[in-house]
């Protein structure tokens, strides 16, 4: 019984932004659990090709597609190509995202809009064009990658927090409208992980590095591989009655207000 609960053998999973970082870590987890991985990026074909090679080296069936998740026409065309060339998309992980660390009072409106475009509107665009097939087949899994900033503010990441907070409510509304088609739409909220996105605030000696280690009950930055289990759970039968839920994988940050530095 437990074997089939988490079995995603033969499923096709599109993971946006999966050429590196948390997206690659979750996609690797899904791939090692048997899913075919659709690798997506928008930077360069070389980056996608080298990521696909990395997946295949790990024994995962992987195909790469370069498209901009914020461009609806590119998304429509890419989904058509994927579903013709590889197969219908059973699992969608809306992971692609950017962050701009600027105090709100100094932030250009165009920069704020760009963050919201990619981190909030793109999951809507990609989901809208993937979910129609899921509705017809009466089954599907959508996983939106949220953040600690879905629940907490932090200096200089206001646009990102607004987008990631909105993504929680978008996830709940997708569940409200699409659960009746046997589609489960949930979120994963990563805590603070050691990736290229957090490198600027993680380098040794950076005050934020010590802050996060102290603020996290687990007393460490997350390892991207720690997200694979949550992704497999929300992509498999094991979560068939879970909907509109954000699963935080954060070492306990959201469980606590923290403590004075002189307390154990």
Q: Catalytic residue positions?
A: 160
Q: Of the candidates 142, 157, 167, 234, which one interacts with ligand GCO according to CB under 6 A? A: 157
Residue 263's CB: how many other CB atoms inside 10 A? 6
Give the binding-site size for ligand GCO (rule: CB under 6 A). Answer: 14
Stretch that binds ligand GCO, among 5-13, 103-111, 191-199, 256-264 (CB under 6 A): 191-199
- Residue closer to ligand GCO, measured from CB, 131 or 227: 227
Q: Is 154 in the site for ligand GCO (CB under 6 A)?
A: yes
Q: Is 238 in the site for ligand GCO (CB under 6 A)?
A: no
- Residue closer to ligand GCO, measured from CB, 86 or 213: 213
Nearest-approach distance from CB 77 to ligand GCO, in angstroms? 30
CA angle 13, 15, 18 (to 5 degrees): 135
- Residue closer to ligand GCO, measured from CB, 41 or 191: 191
Q: Is 55 in the site for ligand GCO (CB under 6 A)?
A: no
The 94-123 contact track toward ligand GCO, x by CB under 6 A, reads: -----x-x----------------------
Residue 41's CB: how many other CB atoms inside 10 A? 25
Q: Which of 117, 87, 88, 84 is nearest to 100 (CA)?
A: 117
- Residue closer to ligand GCO, measured from CB, 135 or 213: 213
Nearest-approach distance from CB 93 to ligand GCO, in angstroms? 16
Q: Is 197 in the site for ligand GCO (CB under 6 A)?
A: yes
Nearest-approach distance from CB 160 to ligand GCO, in angstroms? 6
Q: Is 191 in the site for ligand GCO (CB under 6 A)?
A: yes
Stretch that binds ligand GCO, among 5-13, 62-70, 149-157, 225-233 (CB under 6 A): 149-157
**Residues binding ligand GCO (CB under 6 A):** 99, 101, 147-149, 154, 157, 160, 190-192, 197-198, 201
């Amino acid at each position: 019984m437990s074997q089939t609960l988490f079995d995603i053998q033969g499923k096709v999973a599109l993971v946006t932004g999966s050429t590196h970082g948390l997206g690659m870590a979750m996609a690797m987890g899904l791939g090692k659990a048997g899913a075919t991985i659709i690798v997506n990026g928008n930077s360069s074909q070389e980056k996608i090709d080298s990521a696909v090679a990395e997946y295949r080296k790990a024994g995962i069936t992987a195909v790469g597609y370069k498209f901009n998740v914020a461009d609806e026409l590119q998304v429509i065309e890419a989904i058509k190509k994927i579903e013709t060339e590889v197969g219908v998309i059973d699992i969608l992980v809306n992971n692609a995202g950017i962050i701009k660390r600027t105090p709100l009072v100094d932030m250009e409106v165009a920069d704020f809009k760009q963050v919201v475009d990619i981190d909030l509107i793109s999951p809507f665009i990609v989901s809208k064009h993937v979910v129609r097939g899921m509705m017809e087949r009466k089954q599907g899994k959508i996983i939106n990658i949220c953040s600690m900033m879905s629940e907490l503010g932090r200096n200089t990441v206001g646009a990102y927090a607004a987008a990631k907070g909105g993504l929680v409510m978008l996830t709940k509304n997708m569940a409200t409208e699409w659960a009746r088609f046997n589609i489960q739409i949930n979120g994963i909220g990563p805590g603070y992980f050691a990736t290229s996105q957090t490198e600027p605030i993680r380098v040794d000696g950076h005050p934020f590095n010590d802050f996060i280690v102290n603020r996290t009950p687990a007393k460490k930055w997350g390892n991207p591989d720690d997200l694979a289990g949550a992704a497999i759970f929300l992509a498999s039968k094991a979560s068939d009655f879970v909907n509109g839920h954000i699963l935080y994988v954060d070492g306990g940050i959201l469980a606590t207000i923290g403590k004075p530095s002189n307390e154990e």
